Structure 1
Amino acid sequence: MMNTIQAIRDDFAFLDEWEDKYRYVIDLGEALPPFPEDARDAGHKVQGCVSQVWLVSDRGEGPDPVLTFLGDSDAHIVRGLVAIMLALFSGRRASEIVSTDAEALMRSLGLDEHLTPQRANGLRAMVRRIKQDAQSALTESV
């Protein structure tokens, strides 16, 4: 069972030290569901990440479909960040995904101040990719 974004927020608020928060982020990544080996290819790779990040999106039916995402990375912290983004976006309607402010979440967790610039840019690239998938789901269903 994947963590909800509220559970992640609550856990982050409970942890005082950044070392503990990093460990928690790594634990979130380790709890990700297995990623399909055949999706570790160029088509599923998120461009703009220093670490390798792969993302698969699955689109439901209708004019505002629910999108679910699977993701993985070859780096421990980044896998955890993938888990946080999946908790934020996966299982939500395309219109919700497009209007969700991932940067606000990162600020509320304090991650914006504690990630290296490369990781922060990679995270933004992943958010862009998720939002593009949601936007095309909305556009294509019209």
Structure 2
Amino acid sequence: MNVQELMEAFQMLPDWEDRYKMIEDLGGHMPNLPAEQLTEENRIKDCNTQAWLTAHLSDEDPPKLVFHADAETSLVRGLMALMLLPFRDKTPEEVLATDPEELFGPLGLESALSPTRRAGMEALMFRVRELAIEHAATA
């Protein structure tokens, strides 16, 4: 699913209960991280649910940043899958220039999440930026 398809699907759903189901479904399609990557170094700090994020550079020219995420709950896995959509197939520099608020603001996601879930998603975005900065130096 790309960003445009996501926007269209969200607009078609009548309420947040259905949207949460769709978000959980997104998480169900995300591959699990291998156990050896579920480390403290990869853990997203300030997230109530145990969640992890890794990234590596693709072999493309220019190299794209490839994210892999995992979490203990299906909703958080889905939220991570959703939040990572705008960064798919982008170089580290493009990731740093991407404003996820432009996408998620119109969806009303922020108002639909509890304060603790919002804090976790902000921590995810912070970690995305950290990884993009780290990999921009090596790209």
Amino acid at match of 2:82: I
2:55 to 57, 65, 72: 57
Report the TM-score when normalising by structure 1. Answer: 0.89
Deviates more, 1:87-96 or 1:12-21: 87-96
Matched residue count: 139
2:116 to 118, 125, 129: 118
Pair 63,91 (structure 1): closer, same or farther in 2 beyond 3 Å: closer
Post-superposition offset of 1:75: 1.7
Post-superposition offset of 1:91: 2.3
Q: 1:108 matched to which residue of 2? A: 106
Pair 95,66 (structure 1): closer, same or farther in 2 beyond 3 Å: same
Q: 2:39 matched to which residue of 1? A: 41
1:133 to 105, 113, 131: 131
Q: Distance in 2 between matches of 1:72 and 1:114?
A: 22
User: What residue ranges of structure 2 are gaps of 5+ in the alignment?
Assistant: none
Q: 2:19 matched to which residue of 1? A: 21
Q: Distance in 2 between matches of 1:138 and 1:109?
A: 30
Q: Distance in 2 between matches of 1:105 and 1:47?
A: 23
Q: 1:96 matched to which residue of 2? A: 94
Amino acid at match of 1:109: L
Amino acid at match of 2:33: F
Q: 2:28 matched to which residue of 1? A: 30
Post-superposition offset of 1:61: 5.7
Q: Distance in 2 between matches of 1:94 and 1:64?
A: 10
Amino acid at match of 1:137: H
Deviates more, 1:28-37 or 1:132-141: 132-141
Deviations 1:59-112 (A, max 9, x none): 136896310011011122111111112222132111111011112322121101
Q: Distance in 2 between matches of 1:84 and 1:104?
A: 14
3-state SS of paired residue (2:30): coil
3-state SS of paired residue (1:54): strand
1:68 to 61, 66, 69: 66
User: What residue ranges of structure 1 are gaps of 5+ in the alignment?
Assistant: none
